[in-house]
Structure 1
Amino acid sequence: MCRKTSKDMRWHKERDATKTYRVNDCDRIIDDDALSREEEDDTFLEDENAIPGPTSPGINMHVYLQPLIEELKELWDVGVKTYDAYSKTNFILRASLLWTINDFPAYADFSGWSTKGYYACPCCHKETKRTSLMHKGGYLGHRRWLPINHKWRNDANSFDGKIEKDVAPVPLSGDDVLQHYSRFSQVKYGKIVGNKRKRDASNSLFGWKKKSIFFTLPYWRKLKILHNLDVMHIEKNVSDNILGTLMSIQGKNKDTLKARLDLVKMKIRDKLHPKVLDGKVRVPIAIYTLRSDAKVAICRMLAKMKSPNGYLSNISRCVKDNGKKISCLKSHDHHVFIEQLLPLALRGFLPKEVYDPLIELSFFFRDLCYKNISVGQLEELEKKIPYTLCKLEMIFPPAFFDVMVHLVVHLATEAKTVGPVRYRWMYPIERYLRTLKSYIRNRAHPEGCIAKGYLADECLTFCSRYMSDIDTKFNRKVRNDDEDIEEDTIKSNLEVFRPLGQTIGGSTPKHLDHLECDQIHFYILQNYDPLLKFVQKHKLELEKECPRNVERKHKEQFSKWIQNQVQKIYKLGCCDKDLYNLVCGPSRVVGHHTAYIVNGFRFHTSDRSENRETQNSGVMVRGDPGENHVFVFKCSWFDVENLGRGYKVDEHGLISVNKNRLLKSDDVFVLESQVEQVFYIEDENNEN
């Protein structure tokens, strides 16, 4: 292990014990009692055997886990003698397994709890409520999370035809799991030759199909979360259900004839029951089914959409069937769709009672996936999500609520216990599996290829930790790198003359007219913090002369006035030369760039973005809108001063701007430090 990594690993031991430390800007505080061992290391262990397939071990996964469990026991009980490259001493290294990260089918293989059938929810365990349907089953009963006196608990007709009196189930603790284990015998690991193993009362209980081997670890029973629910796949499945049902996509639609017959069987929602007319079965159109023109408009919006570089894949390729069907979306596409695009795509096409709960669900996922989120915010999400799911229960058929939709109710509770979801979902694991697959050169021996490629990668990784003067995976630049600025090229000490970003490609000379030159000069002077005292002084002088039209006079006279003021100070030797050059104004011949990287964003001019598949020309500024160089952006501003005519804000906070109304303003230039990136999507409901 290299010296730098060793230094970072000593933080827990050498930190100031009198201080508290916040984790990911959350409200939870780490104290000394939270660490049961002084010298521990967090690392990721990946088991490729968990990948589903015809040769996947499935329930026999524990056969392959036994060597790992033995090593984990040794790391916890005895420890391993390790060399510290930073202090150049030996010490005993101890380690523990924090939790497992897996998709939902692998959840069953690791935990031993079946994720199919009547007890498919491992969080609700034996209290899972499953409604038998003609096609599989529906997991309803979200009214259990409502207050005990809520009116929806007694509203049987709007839900599943039953009055709800039960309360929300409490997840099993480690001791509860062991108590269940004592009530059945463990099945023998490995595959049985001959007759297939049968489950009965002696070797199973509720949803348990085996005893988890992880409980042989001495600390496993004390952990609050043993196996994580994967938000990545839950988002994807929920998004699939919504898209398939709203757009009636074959194979994805949950509103089928069987789903309508389930309503007949449950004696609810008479208006949606199939009817026989003229010898044919007629299925009434539901309020959540989109019209043909709405489907075309949504597909057209996605087909024409351009997103910033690196934000999203080319989603227009997923529009099929002559612009009437959306399919083949990747997991990250579903992630962006359900959190960002769903409210925009459905606005104006669905009734309010359908649109509102879908937007609430979209905002839930968006807030849940924040990198920094407080416990208070998670508690608010935990309270709101049962209401959202209950609203959806009153609208969509029971077949819509498969187990993946039901698991949404547990996500905020789990995040409140163990932290933000972005550190516990499957995205990095799926990407790493793609890397392992790329090692395969001989398809007859894929395992050998992966092992050989992995070993070579580990050797190169170890060597690269000692190479700081060349590009490696540890010092590789990010996609939109704006920090590689050579200090030798900066000739001024003024902050305004120090570039924050990097240009892409060369520049072309451009001649500014007098108006543009004055606009740039005034904006820089007005927004440069060291000159704020001069701005206030000039406005006070104008107010003393005449209190009328102070802002207009200030804009017209300030550049000349401050030039005279700084010139007097400069002649006395009390002013920096660079500051004097700043107030004297810019050159009329400037360099024009079509691309610039700053603040982690890649910006293109509108002309450069016109023929590209990406849109990088959107600029947002928060608030009111020689030798030295200042980079500025020239922008055309939408009219955000006139609410109703220039822009609109709906009840959900979604903003629409009128693309035909531009703001009439002289402030068309902004500094590079002020810009953030946005992108625009055409509203198919309103052509403007």
Structure 2
Amino acid sequence: MYKQEKNVVNILCNLELVYPPAFFDIMVHLVLHLPQEAILGGPVYMRWMYPFERYMKKLKGYLRNKARPEGSIAEGYVADEALTFCSMYLEGIQTKFNHPDRNADADIPKRHLHVFSSQCRPMSKVEILDLSEEANKSLHYFVLNNCHEIEDYKSKFKSDFPGRDMKTEFSSWFKYEADTSSSSHNMSPDCTNELMALAYGPTRACSYDACIVNGVRFVVHSRDVRRTTQNSGVVSIGEDGTLFYGQLEQIIELKYLHKYSVVLFRCKWFDTSGKRLEKKNNIVSINISREWFVGNEWYDDQQYILATQAKHVFYLQDPSRSTDNWRVVEDVHHRKLWDHPSMSIVNEIDLLHDTQSSDYNLVVDSGFDENNNDDENFIDGDGEFDVDVNDEFDDYEDNEEDDLLYPSDEEVQIKDDFMVDDNVDLLYTCYSSDDSD
């Protein structure tokens, strides 16, 4: 920092050879004092004024009468505090204490098939998709392949028809088997409706440009390029734990019978194999110049993931690279979203008595029973541990009075030893003379 304090003067002198004098205002001159301030004050975040400046902007918003600015700000502040206090006791009215979050999820009912739990809250207009027959079959098979509740049907199809193509023929066979099993087996009505809706396939499809999933906002890349913000970066974890990085291209919602639906994300995946992914100092950099899993058609099933399988990430330009193809992956924790580990409460067992501490309730008996001559604590048949408080305090008070009235032999011997000392005799004489006065 001392070196920079000397160099900043030379830098500003060199700048004076290039820029006109009007460029060097008070803000440019402030650079001369920044190194010295850092040396004297330490890190700037411990002493900057940004919080107070932001609060001053809030106070200026209360201004209504420019002729009396101080009084207007004071009245506005008092009114805001009063309304904020009163809004905490209002029921049935939306306030800042009970209003829904900006990225609140949609109400998702409980489903037996987890693929129907892949829902979203749309944040843009709905566009109806006219899917071809081949595209409809490909998307339908992707949903079936990601439904773990029908693994028994998949195993049965592979064992009965080992030579057939599962991707093209399983959906029709599963529809037949679902009709048969729903009529022969005793299944719950909800599970039967879900199974039948999944077997018959999607009836129609629609797409969105933005949606909210699990409290996180996702925006397609074509809409994201027109903005300064970024919400199209996604990452998905494979079956073997491999991370797949990509960009969200399209949000598709497949409609099924009985008002069931499945939300899919069509993504453009980046090829991060080999040296195209580098991790150094907990910083992940990827090369986005080459795509991965590029199919011949846009409905290739390798481009899709369920909406609940996507995690939001940001791609930042890597300043340490000479090319523009490298991005730094920034994985952030969103506000109001926490990943708390599950805590299991273990009840310890008493090895001596083979009991648990929760089997007995502690009952404190503050009353006095003259008929009860038993001074010991006991456990009754109901599993309650009784404690007689009065007996313990009575014993303590009796012992304290006995100690004051009847000193022990050791205390008497210590007192006699002190009385033998001349200084102690003189001390007692002084005290006796004072008392006589």
TM-score normalised by structure 2 residue count: 0.52
Q: Is the 8 A contact 2:268 2:291 kept in 1?
A: no
Q: Structure 1 residue 570: deviation in Å?
A: 0.9
Is 1:466 paired with 2:89? yes
Matching residue's letter, 1:658: I
Q: Distance in 2 between matches of 1:432 and 1:573?
A: 67
Which residue is equivalent to 2:193? 578
Q: 1:497 & 1:400 partners in 2: Cα distance?
A: 62
Q: Which runs of 5+ in 1 are unaligned?
A: 1-136, 139-159, 161-244, 246-252, 260-280, 283-327, 329-397, 412-424, 547-551
Tell whether the 8 Å contact from 1:497 to 1:630 is kept in structure 2 after alignment.
yes
C-alpha offsets along residues 71-119 of structure 1, whole Å, 9 cap, x if unaligned?
xxxxxxxxxxxxxxxxxxxxxxxxxxxxxxxxxxxxxxxxxxxxxxxxx
After TM superposition, the structure 1 = structure 2 runs for residues 503-542 of structure 1, keeping only pairs within 5 Å, are 503-532=122-151, 534=153, 537=155, 541=159
For 1:261-660, list aligned pairs within 5 A: 399=35, 402-403=38-39, 406-407=42-43, 431-443=54-66, 445-483=68-106, 485=107, 494-498=113-117, 500-532=119-151, 534=153, 537=155, 541=159, 555=167, 558-575=170-187, 576-587=191-202, 589-624=204-239, 626=257, 627-640=259-272, 642-644=273-275, 647-652=276-281, 653-660=283-290
The whole-number CA distance in structure 1 between the counterparts of 2:201 and 2:322 is 45
Which letter does structure 2 place at the counterpart of 1:255?
N
Matches within 5 A, 1:39-118: none
- Distance change (3 Å), C-alpha of 1:520 and 1:651: same
What per-residue deviation string (whole Å, max 9, x for no partner) do you get for residues 344-382 of structure 1? xxxxxxxxxxxxxxxxxxxxxxxxxxxxxxxxxxxxxxx
Work out whether 1:255 is the aligned partner of 2:255. no
Closer, same or farther: CA 637–437 of 1 in aligned 2, 3 Å: same
Distance 1:400 1:600 in 2: 46
Amino acid at match of 1:465: M
Match of 2:323 in 1: 686
**Does the CA-based 8 Å contact 2:112-2:194 persist in structure 1?**
no
By percentage of residues, which structure has more strand?
A: 2
Q: 1 or 2 for the larger relative contact order (CA 8 Å, sep ≥6)?
A: 1
Shift of 1:608: 2.6
Query: 1:571 Cα shift?
Result: 1.8
Aligned partner of residue 255 in structure 1, secondary structure: helix
Shift of 1:406: 4.3
CA distance in 1, matches of 2:269, 2:231: 15
- Matched to 1:638, the amino acid is F
3-state DSSP class of the match of 1:631?
strand
**What is the identity, as a one-letter code, of the residue corresponding to 1:649?**
E
Q: How far does residue 668 in structure 1 lie from its aligned partner after superposition?
A: 1.6
- Taking a change above 3 Å as real, the CA distance of residues 478 and 523 of structure 1, as seen in their structure-2 partners, is same
Question: 1:505-553 CA deviation, whole Å, 9 max, x = no partner?
Answer: 3312112234432332233233334335555x359849x959xxxxx96
Shift of 1:400: 8.3
Q: RMSD in angstroms over aligned alpha carbons?
A: 4.4
Distance 1:471 1:445, change over 3 A: same
1:667 lines up with 2:302 in the alignment: yes
8 Å contact from structure 1 (residues 519, 669) kept in 2:
no
Using the TM superposition, give the Cα deviation of residue 565 of structure 1 relative to its aligned residue in structure 2, in angstroms: 4.0
1:438 Cα deviation after fit: 1.0
Name the amino acid aligned to 1:402: A
- Shift in alpha-carbon separation, 1:502–1:566, aligned structure 2, 3 A: same
Counterpart-to-counterpart distance in 2, 1:586 and 1:430: 58
Q: Contact 2:179 / 2:196 at 8 angstroms: preserved in 1? A: no
CA distance in 1, matches of 2:53, 2:238: 40
Residue equivalent to 2:383: none
Is contact 1:599-1:676 (8 Å) kept? Answer: no
Match of 1:201 in 2: none
Residue type at the aligned position of 1:680: Y
Q: Which structure is larger by alpha-carbon Rg, 1 or 2?
A: 2
Q: Secondary structure at the match of 1:649?
A: strand
- Rate the CA distance shift 1:654–1:515 in 2: closer, same or farther, 3 A: same
| Alpha-carbon displacement from aligned partner over 1:217-241 (angstroms, at most 9, x marks no partner) | xxxxxxxxxxxxxxxxxxxxxxxxx
The alignment partner of 2:102 has SS state of coil
Once the two structures are TM-superposed, the CA of residue 404 in structure 1 deviates from its matched residue by: 8.2
Tell me what 1:676 maps to: 311
**Could you tell me the percent identity over the aligned residues?**
30
| Deviation for aligned residue 1:594 | 1.8
Contact 1:633 1:672 in 2 (8 A): yes
| Change in 2 beyond 3 A, CA 1:634/1:661 | closer
Q: 1:648 to 1:434 in 2, by over 3 A?
A: same
Instruction: Provide closer, same or farther for how the CA distance between residues 458 and 499 of structure 1 changes in structure 2, counting only shifts above 3 A.
Output: farther
1:404, 1:570 → 2: CA distance? 79
| Residue type of the alignment partner of 2:136 | C
Q: Secondary structure at the match of 1:635?
A: strand
Taking the aligned partners of 1:530 and 1:430, their CA distance within structure 2 comes to 57
Contact 1:511 / 1:588 at 8 angstroms: preserved in 2? Answer: no
Q: Structure 1-normalised TM-score?
A: 0.35
- Report runs of 4+ in structure 1 exceeding 6 Å deviation: 425-429, 490-493
**Corresponding residue pairs, total:** 280
8 Å Cα contact 1:559-1:583 kept in structure 2: no
**Matched residue SS, 2:212:** strand
Deviation at 1:472, TM superposition (A): 0.8
Given that 2:62 and 2:73 are in contact with CA atoms closer than 8 Å, whether structure 1 keeps it comes out as: yes
* TM-aligned CA deviation for residue 401 of structure 1: 8.8
2 CA distance for matches of 1:680 and 1:600?
A: 20
Q: Distance in 2 between matches of 1:518 and 1:400?
A: 70
**How far apart are the structure 2 equivalents of 1:477 and 1:404?**
47
Q: Structure 2: where are the runs of 5+ without partners?
A: 15-26, 28-33, 245-256, 296-300, 326-437
Structure 1 residues 527 and 511: CA distance shift in structure 2, 3 A = same
CA distance in 2, matches of 1:541, 1:405: 75
* CA spacing shift, 1:685–1:650, aligned 2, 3 Å: farther
Q: For residue 323 of structure 2, what is the amino acid of its counterpart?
A: N
Spell out, residue by residue over 1:118-150, the C-alpha distance to the aligned partner (whole angstroms, 9 max, x if none).
Answer: xxxxxxxxxxxxxxxxxxx85xxxxxxxxxxxx
The one-letter amino acid paired with 1:636 is K
SS in 1 for 2:292: coil
Equivalent-residue separation in structure 1 for 2:311 and 2:39 (angstroms):
39
* Shift of residue 463, structure 1, vs aligned partner: 1.9
